Each structure stands twice: as structure tokens, then as C-alpha cells.
Amino acid sequence: MADPADVGGGNRKRILLLAGAAALVLVVVATALVMGDRFTCGGPASGVREFQGACVGVTDGSFVFDDEFGVVSERIKEENDRVAALDDGRPVVRVAFLGTLSFDGVGPMDPVRMRGALEGAYTAQIRANDTRAFGDPTPQIQLVLANMGGRQEGRGPVVEDLVAMARDEERPLVAVTGLGVSIESTREVAEELHRHEVPMISSALTADGLAHGPGGIDDAGTEDDPALAGVIRVAPSNNEYVEALKAYLEGLDDPARAVVVHDQTQPDLFVSTLKTAFDEHLDTYTEGRAVQTYAGTTVGDTPPSGLFSDVSGNVCATDADTVLFAGRAPDLDAFLDSLRYSVCDRPLRILFVSTGMSMLNQEEEMSILEEQDITLVYATGQDPRWNDAPAGSPDVPEGYADFLEAYRGHFDEHDPDLARLRNGYALVNHDAVAVAAAAIRMTNEQGSEGETPTAEAVHARLMLLNTLNNQVKAGGGTLTYSPEGAGEATGRYVPIVELPLSDATGPEPDPHVIGD
């Protein structure tokens, strides 16, 4: 017969074990509740968390935000790992690509354009690390991908992560690129990053007012005419785009008769500042014709059917032969579709601005242009005819051939017809990382070689990229920056493209160049 004391001891042990297990379960449950957002998207070490249904955060390429990004994310991760494994004493810094890398069906960006953006950023990272295209290849650069969500809803926690990375003394974040959507939340992001002296090189912020004022990178303008300190850009502003369109209209044989079609969506700074630029520069062409307004869809709700039926009817009821379209590209597609059923018995031209035009790859929209005798004229950051122009052509930026060769070397097998290259996002994001790399390498002043620069040091160099030794031979132009430029990339080409493309294979001669 067992000793009662032994039986009691066994029970106590079981009770203790059960209590310990229960406590462990409580810890696990509590941890899951606190860190559940980290497990949903890649795990606690991924740098990514779930926020309002989207996976947002900062990653080295190990987390893939969208299936479209599989190949380029893997290559970014490989290059980042290579840099991390260096044992040659060279310092290492990080540059962020900050943008919208997840999608919910309605939004200002799409996976194909963003894939091109990442490919361009990666191409510049490799050129910066392996060549002297943007200065001495020291420090080595790691590229991190920061996703704020499809409508930038996760910008708060992501910006906190970036600020923390800027304080890392071993591998500091020294610049942020991307920032490609001209909406009010982007202004909030930029204000917070600038407060922490993190420099920003925007790839496609074209809205006027989303770059610093005339006093330099720390100038936010005035109360009546505010700008955004801390940001410079590589793409043209809306004002520069419209300057290029003005030159186009002035070259026509007969004066254009224009009407404005305007997206009134708030707070879409792209369309509001584009409308302002049309009013300031092209008002002589629109006199006497009422503005036609609509409620845009690309930063709002799902588009209703017949969105443009009344607008297109009103356009046809005027004597206009030219439409100045102050809206985003997806809404332009819907407007074109409405013109398919219009009663305009005359040729029309539609003037538009775009970082690059993906419509070249859209068979339905291109067929509407031809069927309805419509010419789409757009000012852009990249002319698709640059790809086939002869070497040394004065109508193509000097650095474009080097960009194209590098891009093709990495992505030809996945995009042999260069369809994604046409939308312009690969080029402008390549150029943004190139400018960041050039400013980083400027910190290698006498006595500073081999030291790890800070974000503040890189911030101080951006307005010094303006001499022969420090200009940036980017794909879209030989770029320089100065306080007087208010964030504009002097030297950036702003070509005009007409669709359907003519039989002529070369780009239009004498393109508008910022600062000329």
C-alpha cells in the first residue's frame, strides 16, 4: 500500500505542473494578443505587421508584399545580404523605398507600376554598389522596402520604424526615396521625417507645393504659399509638365480651343495643383468655356457607371478641339471609354501629364483613340522612343543609355518587350536612389573616408549637388539641385508624346528641359 504522504506529494506536483502550464498558456495568449499583428504578416522578425487589414512595415526584401514583386524582392534581399556579409571594413548605410506596396482594388497605384518602381530602385542600388556611376562605391548601400498600405493607412507605424532606423549607428538609414503619391497623407509623412532630419528624394511627387521653398531644403514656404521642407524630387512638377504642354500648343498651326475636365476629389494634391497650373499657363486657350468637373475614383470609392457620360456630352456641346484633363490615369481610361459613345463629330486632342504612360500596353484604350480620331498628348518623364534612339541623340538624356543597359541586364528575361519600362516608374525610382547615392558619396570628404555618414550629413549635401563634379548623371537627365530650385531637378527632360505614335521612330526634337 502506498504511503499517503507519497500520494499527496504526487498530487502537489501535478497541481504545480498544471498551474505552470496554465501560466504558460496565459503568457502565450497575452503575447499573441499583443503581437498578433506581427505573426499575421511574416513573423516578429520580419519587420512587417498587420494594420487595418494590410501588411505594413519595413523589410530587407525577405517579405514579399505582393506576388508581382517576387523576383525583384528576392534580388534586393540577395544584394542586401551580400552587403551585410562584407568584412572589408567599408561602412554600410541604408536607403528606404517608401510607398504603397499593397493594394485593395481602388487606389492611386497598382502592382505593375510599383513593380517597375522597385526594379528601378534595385537597378540604381546595384550601380551604386558595383560601379562609380554615382561616386566612389563607399559606403555600400542596402535598400529597404517600406510599405504604408494601399491608401497609406499604415504611415504612422512605418514612419516610426524609419526614424528609429535613422538612429542606428552601425547601419543608419540616411535617405528615404519613393513617396510617389501626391495626396495629403504624403505631406504628413514628409513633415514627420523632416522633423527628424531624414532627407527625402521623391520619385514621382509632381504636385506643386510638395517640395521645399526657395530658401532651400529647410524652407517650408509661407503661410499663404506653403511648401514642404525636406523634400526634393526627380520627376518634373505639374508646373514644369504644363510648361512643356504650353510649348507644344504654341507650336500648333492653329490656336487650340480648350476645355478643362477636372477631378474635384479632396485631398488629391496632384489633380488640384494640375488644375492650378492649367489655369495659370493655358487660360488663353480655355477662355469662355466652363470647367467640366467630376468626382474622381483613384483615391476614393469604386467608380460608378456612367461617371463621365454628362462630362463627355458637355465637352462635345462646346466648340473645343482640346481637353485639358486634370485627373489621374485610371479616370482618363474611363473618360476615353465615355467618348466612344459620344456625339463629337470632330477630331479631339486630350492633354495630360504622367510620370510615364502605361496606355501603350492597353489595347482597348489605344483602339478608342484610333476609332474616335482622338490624339492623346502627354507631358511625361520618359519617352518610350528613347529606348530605340541612336546613341548620342541630343533629344535623349545623356545617362539614359546607361540606365537602360543596366535595367535590361537585370530584368530582360522577365520583361523582354520592356512593357513595364514604358510606365516611367522604373526610371524615376532609379533616379531617386541615384540622387541619394550621390549625396551619400559626397560625405567622403577629406578625412571622412571610411566613416559612416548620418542622415543629417546626407541632408546637408543635397543642395550641393550642383557643380560639374557633383551633378547626378541620372537616366532622365543630368540633375542638379540648389536652394533657388525649390526642389526641382534642374536638367530633367520633360518630353511630349502623342498617342497613337506616329510612324517616326525617334523622339520629338528639342524637348523641354527644366532650368533651360
* pLDDT of 218: 81
pLDDT tens-digit readout, 415-451: 666 677 888 999 999 999 999 999 999 998 755 667 8
Residue 288 and residue 268: Cα distance in Å, rounded? Answer: 26
Residue 510 and residue 20: Cα distance in Å, rounded? Answer: 78
| 50-235+397-493 and 239-380 agree in CATH topology | yes
Positive or negative torsion for Cα 332, 151, 113, 173:
positive
* pLDDT of 198: 95
Q: What three-state secondary structure class fits 382?
A: coil
Pairing state of beta strands 173-178 and 200-202?
A: parallel
Residue 460 and residue 355: Cα distance in Å, rounded? Answer: 28
* pLDDT of 185: 81
Q: How is the chain split into domains, by residue range?
A: 50-235+397-493, 239-380
Residue 401 and residue 139: Cα distance in Å, rounded? Answer: 25
* pLDDT of 39: 56
Q: Which residues of 458-495 are buried (b: 16+ CB within 10 A; e: fewer)?
A: bbbbbbebbeeebbbbbbbbbbbbbbebbbbbbbbbbb
* pLDDT of 302: 54
- Contacts of residue 77, defined as CB under 8 A and 6 or more positions apart, other chains included, come to 60, 61, 62
* pLDDT of 350: 97
**Residues with pLDDT less than 50, the chain:** 1-8, 23-37, 300
Residue 188 and residue 428: Cα distance in Å, rounded? Answer: 22
Residue 137 and residue 67: Cα distance in Å, rounded? Answer: 32
Please state the length of the chain: 516
| Homologous superfamily in CATH for domain 50-235+397-493 | Response regulator (3.40.50.2300)
Residue 386 and residue 382: Cα distance in Å, rounded? Answer: 8
Residue 64 and residue 71: Cα distance in Å, rounded? Answer: 9
Residue 293 and residue 87: Cα distance in Å, rounded? Answer: 60
Residue 170 and residue 167: Cα distance in Å, rounded? Answer: 9
* pLDDT of 64: 95
* pLDDT of 242: 97
Q: Where are the beta strands (DSSP E) in 355-474?
A: 374-380, 472-474
pLDDT tens-digit readout, 78-111: 999 999 999 888 999 999 999 999 887 656 678 8
| Homologous superfamily in CATH for domain 239-380 | Response regulator (3.40.50.2300)
* pLDDT of 420: 76
Residue 368 and residue 65: Cα distance in Å, rounded? Answer: 34
Global pTM reads 0.88
* Beta carbons within 10 angstroms of residue 103's beta carbon: 18
